[in-house]
Structure 1
Amino acid sequence: MEILPLQSFEAIKLVQMLADKSMTNSYKIFWLRGIIDSAIEGKTVVNIEDNVIKMISEAWYPVTQYKLSLGKLDKIEEIIGEVLKRDPGAAIRNKDDLADTIKSFGAADFRSKINRLARYVTFRLLTPFYAEQLRGLSDHDKNRKIQELSQGDQDALYRISSKGTSLYINDRWATFIQKNRQVISGWSDHVLINYLQRRNPNVPAIPLKIFPPMKRDLSKAKRFWGLVQENVELMDIYTKRPMTSQHTLELGEISIDHFVPWSFVQHDLVWNLIPTFKRINSMKSNHVPNLNKYLDDFCIVQYKAVNCMINTGMHKYLEDYYTVDQKMVEMLTRRSNFEKKDFIAALKRTIEPQVQIATNQGFLEWEYIDD
Structure 2
Amino acid sequence: MTSPWQRRRQPDDVPTPVAVAVSDFCRRAKSPAPAPEVREALALLLEDDDFRVRALTDAEPETTPLGPFAVVDILRGTAPAVAAQRQSCGYYDVARELAYVREEKTPPRAVAADPSIPSFALPAARPAGESSGKAKKGAKADEATVLERIAPKKRSTLVDEETTSPSEQELAALDEGPSFLRRDLPRPRGRFTRVEAPRTPFVELTRASGKEVLEALLEGSEHRFALLRNMSHRFNGSRGDLTLVDLETVLRDHGLLDALKEKERLQLLDAYTQQRGATGRVGWALGVSPPELQRLVASCGLTEDVEALRERFRREALATSHLTHRLDLLGREKYLADLGIQRKFNESLRKDLERLLRDELPGATDLHGLSDAVGRKYGSPSELVFRAIERLGLAEGLRKQLHPGVPPSTP
Smaller-chain TM-score bracket: under 0.3
TM-score for the superposition, normalised by structure 1: 0.22
The structure whose RCO (Cα within 8 Å, separation 6+) is larger is 1
TM-score for the superposition, normalised by structure 2: 0.20
Q: Which one has a larger percent strand, Structure 1 or Structure 2?
A: 1
Structure of higher CA gyration radius: 2
